[in-house]
Structure 1
């Protein structure tokens, strides 16, 4: 049969760009919301009279909802069609956002955030599926570069937007801003997305769902509790992580039995998908985990406001925007194994600067390093994801997207928790100020803790030498944590070395080229 990919023009046409616009809007809502809410946690504490551990559940609840619903996305996309399911995801997310703005207790806010997460969890895997099917194998790199823009700019734009909305209006607006975006995205999706055929004959894997979704939720709950407890030996950390891991491992062993498992691990027989998935997983742990600490350095060591910290992170986004379209085009023409290592080298070079940070490191040097890392980011994440999805058949695209998104979610949670625990353990080693205790907890106050509080005008006056000593300790703690992140970045070169360095075989129909050379291979048979 004639392939859409074969007939598709080399450049992205108007129809494909319209579809990409819908997906980008959904991705912006989902990704931006995570970082915007992280800025508002101190505000939630004062507004609801809650502890930090309680307000942190507004983030954890959202993450757990994402982890629970992502495995269902592949089956649901096949069963109900991507268009109607994507519109339902937008509706759930927008409804959850509006309800969040009406919350008058921390418990209500957490519950509404879970509803948000149920919609947000489907947006990314469905968006990747829709875009992959629309572009075809010949153009998937360029289209994935479009999707990569909100994925990279979300962590940068979130603090800026959140800080501005909270300062100029109120915390309610960090949620209400999703209402007009959601309405536009819903109408846009209705007219722009093509109708796709559902496959109602496929059975739903209830047994797999009872193992995988709770397993992921329990494991990520334990991981998310690490920064709060500071140790993996805490009961609520190791018990939930162990229970979750057992359920996930049991699912892995079980998943090869049913004809249509909830998560099709048979896809990992595809070498390109396996290598790209491992590369992406290690990269997410390394960069996203440590990347969350970049704005924290500006906040805690340099005493910057949330808005200024976000603006200082902007060079990273600018760098990514410059290289991402180029990397997308190259990914459609040159095997990613030849380009990604160079992009990773840029990330490593920029990252090294942060291992040397102090209390007065030049902003010009730091912003320049962030710009270099952004250049590398633009040439890394999307080409790897392109390599993962390009060789899948249209029938496998939804499930492949689901696999990639689960790995991303686990990787980012593990990376963030690991870096937070390392930083916390470093800060806890700071000397205690004799005779000074925290009025809320009654715990002794450390020099590092007092210095951070004074940086934001929230602490008691300190002698200059104590303040300087405490701040230097905080800076050293960040530098040590960044060293761990830098080592993880270097480890990413190992799986990247196995990325395809020759032409990949496309299984989406049309002409394909073999890994062993440039000779066209027969088109894969497409079954409907």
Structure 2
């Protein structure tokens, strides 16, 4: 039995630092690339679809394999799999930094996403399994806040690196960070696992169907404009069949990749439903805003990257308070109000076009950031609190998979939906038209997320019973 850690102990603080920094690196690379897309497209002569795949290749691997990463951690040891993921991520980052063509960069981004899928659920699962129960909400709040900061600060870091060293450094900077996390984890973090899962057959079929379903759907959404109707229908049917097959396999398996019984809890299901639409909108906002400011407003990569600063500040100072508020009054109000505030901020960003200044975008960024700070940590704590401790890796994996899938599918679908393709990202007029349509859609998705939370969290059920799984 692993001795539980406290947040105020030296080992507890160092363990929290290790898992937060490692998860932050993976999340950072989901957003840091956005601000470099225009430079990458110019230097590697890439189309908009190829630039989408630079983002989506990473997100596809992360979304489709994060469930596998969570389940492997529960079975083989959360610390061990977390370290495997960090090592894999380090090597893949080096390969990204030396890529010479769009195809090479997309392939190495997929490899990077595999490493992220191994380490991302491990961070939360380690917190849930090694910290004393009374310290978990605050520890998760710290993790969620700093992870949110990683996503928000990504465009700023990427902008500075692009302007001062070139886009390859956005991957090269991962090397010393990964080495530091590996050393700190080996030194401080205790090992935990689900002892009942050890030695059981691993659900390879379930994992394969997840990859097939998300991969086919992402390809259909991204390349729909260039493929024939018959091929589009065939790929879409394949994605649907794989998704249905996954549900059937998981419901019949004695050792499923995902315990479908977790979704019998209304809170767990509602929180993940809200995650899907909200993170889909967030992914598009981050993807398209920095492009719009560079292409249509003429901002530098660094200036566009600085738009993440208000979100960084809000998450840094408000995430722990939001977690405490949620613990005191319940998650319903923060998780319903937060997305609606984000939607208002997105609508305030509509004027960001030709001639836009900081005063044009700052009000929207501030409102958006306040809403994000209100929802992030309560969402994470609610999902984990709804699952038994021994399923911490699975619960974390499910929520991470839903978040990444939402972002992946939205980034794949929305550009074509709003009329952006090919080299349109270099045309200010086309870019502005597509940007504004995308912002309106994102505001709608965020509002839907708030509605889902309000009705879905009307009852807080606590934790799924073990005998229900």
Q: Which position in structure 2 is the counterpart of 1:25? A: 21
User: How big is the shift at 1:170?
Assistant: 3.3
2:449 is the alignment partner of 1:492: yes
Q: Which position in structure 2 is the counterpart of 1:283? A: 278
User: How big is the shift at 1:236?
Assistant: 5.4
CA distance in 2, matches of 1:206, 1:73: 12
CA distance in 1, matches of 2:425, 2:46: 20
Q: Go from structure 1 to structure 2 and tell me whether the alpha carbon gap of 1:13 and 1:501 turns closer, same or farther (over 3 Å shift).
A: farther
TM-score, scaled to structure 2: 0.88
User: How big is the shift at 1:419?
Assistant: 3.0
User: How big is the shift at 1:451?
Assistant: 5.7
What does residue range 26-65 of structure 1 map to in structure 2 within 5 Å? 26-49=22-45, 51-54=47-50, 56-65=52-61
Q: Which position in structure 1 is the counterpart of 2:413? A: 418
CA distance in 2, matches of 1:477, 1:322: 34
User: How big is the shift at 1:307?
Assistant: 0.9
Q: Go from structure 1 to structure 2 and tell me whether the alpha carbon gap of 1:156 and 1:338 turns closer, same or farther (over 3 Å shift).
A: closer
CA distance in 1, matches of 2:466, 2:252: 24
User: How big is the shift at 1:51?
Assistant: 4.7
CA distance in 2, matches of 1:394, 1:210: 26
Q: Which position in structure 2 is the counterpart of 1:179? A: 175
User: Partner of 1:492: helix, strand, or coil?
Assistant: helix
Q: Go from structure 1 to structure 2 and tell me whether the alpha carbon gap of 1:135 and 1:271 turns closer, same or farther (over 3 Å shift).
A: farther
Q: Which position in structure 2 is the counterpart of 1:364? A: 359
User: Partner of 1:200: helix, strand, or coil?
Assistant: coil
Q: Go from structure 1 to structure 2 and tell me whether the alpha carbon gap of 1:225 and 1:264 turns closer, same or farther (over 3 Å shift).
A: farther
Q: Which position in structure 1 is the counterpart of 2:81? A: 85
User: How big is the shift at 1:237?
Assistant: 4.6
Contact 1:355 1:486 in 2 (8 A): no
Contact 1:391 1:505 in 2 (8 A): yes
Q: Go from structure 1 to structure 2 and tell me whether the alpha carbon gap of 1:224 and 1:135 turns closer, same or farther (over 3 Å shift).
A: farther
Q: Which has more radius of gyration?
A: 1
CA distance in 2, matches of 1:417, 1:57: 8
Q: Go from structure 1 to structure 2 and tell me whether the alpha carbon gap of 1:378 and 1:136 turns closer, same or farther (over 3 Å shift).
A: farther
Residues 193-245 of structure 1 show CA distances to partners (whole Å, capped at 9, x for unaligned) of 1022454222112332332222222222323435xx38x97555543333122
Q: Which position in structure 2 is the counterpart of 1:206? A: 204
- How many residue pairs match? The answer is 465
CA distance in 2, matches of 1:67, 1:345: 25
Indicate which of 373, 379, 389 corresponds to 1:378: 373
What does residue range 388-399 of structure 1 map to in structure 2 within 5 Å? 388-399=383-394
Q: Go from structure 1 to structure 2 and tell me whether the alpha carbon gap of 1:284 and 1:14 turns closer, same or farther (over 3 Å shift).
A: same
Question: Could you say what the CA RMSD is over the residues aligned between the two structures, in angstroms?
Answer: 3.1
Q: Which position in structure 2 is the counterpart of 1:481? A: 438
CA distance in 2, matches of 1:39, 1:106: 16
CA distance in 2, matches of 1:125, 1:361: 39
Q: Go from structure 1 to structure 2 and tell me whether the alpha carbon gap of 1:369 and 1:47 turns closer, same or farther (over 3 Å shift).
A: closer
User: Partner of 2:329: helix, strand, or coil?
Assistant: coil
Compare relative contact order (CA 8 Å, sep 6+) and give the higher one, 1 or 2. 2
Q: Which one has a larger percent helix, Structure 1 or Structure 2?
A: 2
> Any stretches of 5+ residues in structure 1 without a counterpart?
429-440, 453-469, 508-523
CA distance in 2, matches of 1:119, 1:450: 32
2:249 is the alignment partner of 1:251: no
Q: Go from structure 1 to structure 2 and tell me whether the alpha carbon gap of 1:15 and 1:476 turns closer, same or farther (over 3 Å shift).
A: same
2:221 is the alignment partner of 1:264: no
